[in-house]
Structure 1
Amino acid sequence: MAIKFQYNKTSLGELGKQLKMRQKALPTIKSKESALRSEVKKAKDSAADYRRRLDALKGEYDYMAALWGEFDDGLVRIADVELATQKIAGVRTPVLQDVKFEEKPYDLFSAPVWFADGVEILKKLARLALEFEVYDRKMELLDYARRKTTQKVNLYEKVQIPGYEDAIRKIKRFMEDEENLSKSAQKIVKTKQQQAGEGATL
């Protein structure tokens, strides 16, 4: 990124302000990136944990696979999922508050005995699946924010701060050269005036 500037004091002052602002903001952005990196790992670990628990629970009931054909899947359904938001390092992330189920009544005498267990199993599976989805989404949101923050850190550290420093150096050199030229010119004029004055007295 080329930084536009002019060789004058106004431009020097403006570039100095921009540089200070970025140098001041950099540690904050770096700590945000570090916090986000840690939170991404936590969310990823939690999502993986819920995935393992879900797979384990499914595995526990594999022996019932033949029975599920008899099960009336209309007996239980998710009526509502309550989500809240939690801010983590400035990023809004979802939090599962509650899962509300709607159960259809059934005849306890004519239905197989295990239907009550089947309803509870489905509730557990649904809750774990939702927890996994929420943590997976949380991880995606945090990781996206972390990548954006890393890009900003790199932009400041590797492009903008060195760019501003370089531009300031160029302006200072130019102004020093201009001042030296001006002093040299004054000396030459003074020397010529002295020589002219000496020549006139002869």
Structure 2
Amino acid sequence: MAKIKLTRNELKAQKESLKRFSRFLPTLELKKLQLELERRKVVKEMDEFRKKITSFREDIQSWQNLFCENYPKDVQHLVHISNLETQEINIAGISVREVVDVSFEVDEYDLYLTSPWLEKGIDVVKKIIFFQEREKSLRNKEQVILQELRKTTQRINLFKEKLIPECKENIRMIRIQLGDLQAAAVGRSKMAKQKMQPKGGTQ
């Protein structure tokens, strides 16, 4: 604990600090609660999204091996991301960018030299890529929330375990010192009055 001056001005400063810390702490605790709720929402959304991906992969499993055929490229290499559409969302005071849509470019291919299923395969690849980008976006969102949650928890602990207790202890010490000084001043005043009183006696 840093050494402080045991003065009335310092007492006033410590009281103001305590008031400020005590006012800010509930805001931090509310932010922590919001972040915890948002994290639970993201985890639930990720679980549901992974189930959707698993279900989709099971649906295409029967003809998924066709993706390995070359015309002269396999279908995965025909499809490229041209743009990621994102939106900025605010979570308990922090900004997070989230993927909402994906635009694609498809290499040219010869309709006469490719199998009839290729167009369906391209649509499937687009959907898989969208799933991957969306899942990556959700993971990033969770990491941002977790990082902010750790920072907020550290600040709460700093306020609760260090700053507020230190202020209270400083206030207690200053009050004791000022009380002692006041008592000493009263004592000196009484002694001075006694010395100033005329001594009694007979001539």
Aligned length: 199
Alignment of 1:154-193 (within 5 A): 154-193=157-196
Distance in 1, Cα, partners of 2:57 & 2:192:
96
Structure 1 counterpart of 2:41, one-letter code = K
Query: Which residue of 153, 156, 160 maps to 1:153?
Result: 156
Instruction: Give 2:91's aligned residue.
Output: 88
Query: Which residue of 107, 115, 122 maps to 1:112?
Result: 115
Deviations 1:48-90 (A, max 9, x none): 2222222332232222243221034332111121222211111
Alignment of 1:55-134 (within 5 A): 55-70=54-69, 71-134=74-137
Stretch of structure 1 that moved more, 104-113 or 136-145: 104-113
Give secondary structure in 2 for the equivalent of 1:42: helix
Give secondary structure in 2 for the equivalent of 1:175: helix
Instruction: Give 1:7's aligned residue.
Output: 6
Deviation at 1:200? 7.7
Distance in 1, Cα, partners of 2:121 & 2:192:
104
Deviation at 1:193? 3.5
Distance in 1, Cα, partners of 2:42 & 2:128:
20
Unmatched segments (≥5 aa) in structure 2 = none
Deviation at 1:118? 0.8
2:37 counterpart of 1:38? yes
Q: After the TM superposition, which parts of structure 1 deviate over 3 Å for at least 4 consecutive aligned residues?
A: 199-202
Distance in 2, Cα, partners of 1:154 & 1:56:
44
- Kept in 1: contact 2:100–2:134 (CA 8 A): no
- Scaled by the length of structure 2, the TM-score of the pair is 0.90
- Scaled by the length of structure 1, the TM-score of the pair is 0.90
Distance in 2, Cα, partners of 1:12 & 1:201:
53
Structure 2 counterpart of 1:45, one-letter code = K
Identity among equivalent pairs (%)? 26
Deviation at 1:25? 1.0
Against the structure 1 CA distance between its residues 115 and 151, is the aligned structure 2 distance closer, same or farther, given a 3 Å change threshold?
A: same
- Kept in 1: contact 2:28–2:156 (CA 8 A): yes
Distance in 1, Cα, partners of 2:34 & 2:75:
47
Instruction: Give 1:52's aligned residue.
Output: 51
